[in-house]
Every structure is written in structure tokens, then in C-alpha cells.
Amino acid sequence: MQQVLAEKVLTRSGAKPGVLADGLLILLGGLFIAALAQVRIPLQPVPITGQTLAVLLVGMALGSRRGPLAVLGYLGMAGAGLPFFTGAQAGLAYMAGPTGGYLLGFIPAAWLVGWLAERGWDRSLWTTLAAMALGNLVIYIFGIAWLQTLMGGWSQALAAGLYPFLIGDTIKALLAALLLPAAWKLVKN
């Protein structure tokens, strides 16, 4: 009954139910990333946060179109001044700092894991973990490439932006893979 009523209201307003549902999922995905960004271990120059877990989970659950849009929404809201980056930071200056490459890498990583999920990589724990590992690799490529320009070399960037994160990102990928079935249920409802 409620669904029929909602569809009638949406039809009369000219909005398409699928578009509104997609918009809501994209917004909620961006807000989920913002919430997990506040879970952090403050390392320098790049902190360990829950963002990568959220980005990979949102990307796989929302797919190759909505996942990256959720990341772009998150980056847009935080870039515009909402305190959504880790440590309640915000703004374009933060995005140009040491974490800027990682933040940019979230977009193609969300696309990649979403694309892989659409091709069945989300059907088993092992293929989900493989997709998450590839997503993390994309984030590392963007993050370390940017970090090395700020730090003056690859060895410094790897020491500061890769090695301290490998164990934590492996744990976060496993956690995201385990949470994926619950995320699918939320998305489908």
C-alpha cells in the first residue's frame, strides 16, 4: 500500500522512483563514507581511517555508476566545507594536502569494485577480497603518486603512505567483504 502511494506521489510530481532511490542511495553512501572517515588512527602524514572500508563497501554495494557518484558526493560535500574528512576537516586545502591522492583514488576504486561486483566478483568471499585488493591498489597508486610529489621521492612516499597501511587495509578489506551481504540487503530495500 505504501509503495503504491509513494509511486503515485512520485508520478504526479514528475519524478521517477528509480532516480529518487538512486539519489538517496548516493547521498547515504557519501554520508557513510563521511562517518567512517571519523574512525582514525592519527599517523603522519597520512592517517589510517575507515574511509577505504567505506569506499570499497559502497562501491561494491552501489555498483559502477552509483558508487563513484557517492564518492564524488562525499568529496564535494567535504570540499565545500562540511567537516567530513578525517578529524572533522574540510575544504579544498585539505584535499590538496598529503591525503589528496588517496581521496582522488577513491573515485576510480569505487568504480572498479562496483564494475567487478556487477560481473559477479561479489558472489564469494575470495573474489570479493580480490576485488577489494584491486580497489586498494588503485587507491595506493593515486595516493603514493601524489605523496611522492610532496615528499620528494618514492622511497619516502612508500615508507609514509604504503607500508604502515598494508595490515590495516587487509583487515578493512576482509571486514568490508564480510559486511557486503548486509549492504546488499540495505540497497535492495
> Where do the domains of the chain lie?
16-188
Cell numbers given for 183: 549492504
pLDDT (0 to 100) of residue 173 = 85
**CA atoms of 43 and 181, how far apart (whole Å):** 31
pLDDT (0 to 100) of residue 6 = 45
pLDDT (0 to 100) of residue 95 = 93
Higher local confidence (pLDDT), 48 or 84: 84
Q: How far is CA 114 from CA 4, 64, 67, 88, 122, in A?
A: 30, 4, 7, 27, 9
pLDDT (0 to 100) of residue 17 = 61
Which CATH code fits 16-188?
A: 1.10.1760.20
pLDDT in tens, 113-162: 999 999 999 888 899 999 999 999 999 999 999 999 999 889 898 988 88
pLDDT (0 to 100) of residue 14 = 53
Name the helix (H) or strand (E) containing 41.
strand 40-41
Least confident of 5-14, 145-154, 180-189: 5-14
Q: How far is CA 165 from CA 77, 123, 136, 161, 170, in A?
A: 26, 26, 10, 7, 8
pLDDT in tens, 20-76: 888 999 999 999 999 999 988 877 777 778 899 999 999 999 999 999 999 999 999
What number is the average pLDDT over the span 98-115?
96
pLDDT (0 to 100) of residue 172 = 86
Lookup result for grid cell 547521498: 27
Going by pLDDT thresholds of 50, 70 and 90, the confidence category of residue 101 is: very high
